[in-house]
Amino acid sequence: MCAHILVAEDDEMQAELIRRLLLQEGHTPVVVHDGRAAIDEATRRRPDLVVLDLMLPKVDGLGVCRVLRQNGEIPVLMLTARSTEDDVLLGLGLGADDYMTKPYSPRELLARIRTVLRRTQRPADQSPVLRAGGITVDPLRHEVTCDGFPIPCTPGEFAILHAMAAEPDRVFSRRQLLQHTRGHDRASTERAIDVHIMNLRKKIEPDPRVPARLLTVFGVGYKLTGQPS
């Protein structure tokens, strides 16, 4: 799996380490050191993935993520310090697909990159279109519709809907949904699922404050109802 990956990291030594790791994996990395350069580079040539540090000069990582989401569904892996949990949740709310806290091991970084790229690659073979309660999920075209209207989804949101639409009315725990959206069973990141669910409700519910499709099962998790809304 060879990908064009944009690395936005102001620490030049860290950026060079990531660049070398990506080259060893067969990817084509492009490195920038500030947020404005990241936006310009992503606009000039759409990357397959952005490895995005939150603490960037000129435009911070949250600002970059916001602009990337306005320009399409570019997968984003955020890098951040442990003391910025609120920023992490905000970044996930803006559509980031995954995040890592510093310091991190090179092996884990590569594993996360592989997971995001696998999840965002279109499947090579024909996959069935899934339908549940007015929601249609097309894995081949990576498209979601709600009552016939197209719904833009981040890769993480798509993975959640795909898993739930395959088994309508099944209750998924946060940990189970993490396995679909991240490929990592890390209890410390289960709050990220709540952010994805909140964003999905804004997109598919007539009134997100009173969900009728994507329901909470208190003390257990979430389910996508198979009944028409």
Quick: pLDDT tens for 40-84. 999 888 898 999 999 899 999 989 988 888 877 789 999 987 656
CATH 1.10.3720.10 is held by the domain 130-224 = no
C-beta separation of 78 from 91 below 8 A: yes
Rounded to two decimals, the pTM is: 0.58
Neighbours of 67 (CB within 10 A): 18
The confidence score (pLDDT) of residue 123 equals 47
Tell me what pLDDT residue 227 has. 74
Domain boundaries of the chain, sorted by first residue: 4-120, 130-224
Sequence-distant contacts of 215-222: CB under 8 A, at least 24 apart: 217/171, 220/171, 220/173, 221/171, 221/172, 221/173, 221/174, 221/176, 221/177, 222/164, 222/171, 222/172, 222/174, 222/177, 222/193, 222/197
Q: What is the pLDDT of residue 81?
A: 77
| Overall fold of domain 4-120 | Rossmann fold (3.40.50)
Select from 90, 86, 221, 105 the least CA-distant residue to 167: 221
